[in-house]
Structure 1
């Protein structure tokens, strides 16, 4: 699927940058060495990472990945769903690459923090491509695993949207461990179709932090999602989404 996606994107005229984490031998563990930090002193990760980022002393492997993200118009994460999330090596990529000053802790000139629809990644599109052993019915609205959007909420809302990326509906490859040749052909065609509309599909209408829908404690105000609660209240109905972007 990865090879097919890269071939399709190249054929469509796109330049691609790939991070094959297992092949790279990517280190997923945050350490003091990432920030040239003196291990004799307590490591405050946020401060140490932002200082190293600003001073150009952040680890070379992290800097290389940050450069890829800066250059990207779209970020695609492809992974097998692993205990309801991404595999540890990819979570470690997020942890080490999206440090303070790059992924979070971005201050506004007028005060406050840029996040949830704002941030350095604003203007970048984001897409999850994930495979799973179970059927698509198990991640439906009433499926035993919960809906796919809720299952991926920490990644799509808590990572992509937090850093400012516009999040596209995910691509699911179900029943991957028992896929037939015909099933693979259909999955490949589906993925290529979605990649073909990577820059035209409507993103998930997550609510912006700074559009007045949240109070000073970042709790959704009472006029919105009346009578509802849980993760879904942070996704606006189409009419509200249109008003927010107007």
Structure 2
């Protein structure tokens, strides 16, 4: 549920215990080897459902720690993130409008680096409506396989 409710506002303002659905999502991330976000680009950003999930789950006390008299402490330094954003426009349109830089600033830096998470993959899979779907599926598969290969080497 992406809706930011009164309960979510209390979590932000008073560090109240998050709603059960948020705690469950945080526990899923805590158990994960990596977080992979694969999403379509809507209006030069992530879909509202995904943004609402981020807003509710990556909260003060879990993703970061800060207060009026304390600097931000990044709590997700253990988390590895892979971002695969699928866009319909071609690369020249994204370059012309600066979207690649905007995505990096908004998502990679503004969300994940702020929490201390390491973005290992940040890919724009573009021109998705012109027959490049197979190439994008191959790229996503390669990223996924790479996650498990790193685990096998580390394990």
**TM tier, smaller:** 0.7 to 0.9
Max Rg structure: 1
Residue of structure 1 equivalent to 2:50: 90
Residue of structure 1 equivalent to 2:4: 30
Point out which structure has higher relative CO (alpha carbons under 8 A, 6+ apart).
Answer: 2
CA distance in 2, matches of 1:106, 1:197: 34
* Equivalences for residues 59-138 of structure 1 within 5 A: 59-106=19-66, 112-114=71-73, 119-138=74-93
Could you tell me which runs of 5 or more consecutive residues in structure 2 were left unpaired when the two chains were aligned: 151-155
Report the structure, 1 or 2, having the larger helix content: 2
2:85 touches 2:123 (CA, 8 Å); kept in 1? yes
1:156: Cα distance to partner? Answer: 0.6
1:81: Cα distance to partner? Answer: 0.8
Report the structure, 1 or 2, having the larger strand content: 2
1:47 touches 1:100 (CA, 8 Å); kept in 2? no
CA distance in 1, matches of 2:96, 2:90: 11
1:71: Cα distance to partner? Answer: 1.1
Residue of structure 1 equivalent to 2:108: 156
Deviations 1:196-234, CA, capped at 9 Å, x for gaps: 33475xxxxxxxxxxxxxxxxxxxxxxxxxxxxxxxxxx
2:81 touches 2:121 (CA, 8 Å); kept in 1? no
1:171: Cα distance to partner? Answer: 2.3
2:115 is paired with a residue of what secondary structure? coil
Q: 1:186 aligns with which of 131, 135, 152?
A: 135
Could you tell me which runs of 5 or more consecutive residues in structure 1 were left unpaired when the two chains were aligned: 1-26, 35-42, 53-57, 201-246
2:65 touches 2:75 (CA, 8 Å); kept in 1? no
Residue of structure 1 equivalent to 2:127: 175
TM-score (normalised: structure 1): 0.54
2:44 touches 2:99 (CA, 8 Å); kept in 1? no
- Aligned residue pairs total 147
Q: Could you say what the CA RMSD is over the residues aligned between the two structures, in angstroms?
A: 2.2
TM-score (normalised: structure 2): 0.81
1:85 touches 1:152 (CA, 8 Å); kept in 2? no
2:2 touches 2:52 (CA, 8 Å); kept in 1? yes
CA distance in 2, matches of 1:112, 1:174: 38
Runs of 4 or more consecutive aligned structure 1 residues displaced over 6 Å after TM superposition? none
1:44: Cα distance to partner? Answer: 5.0
CA distance in 1, matches of 2:52, 2:104: 17
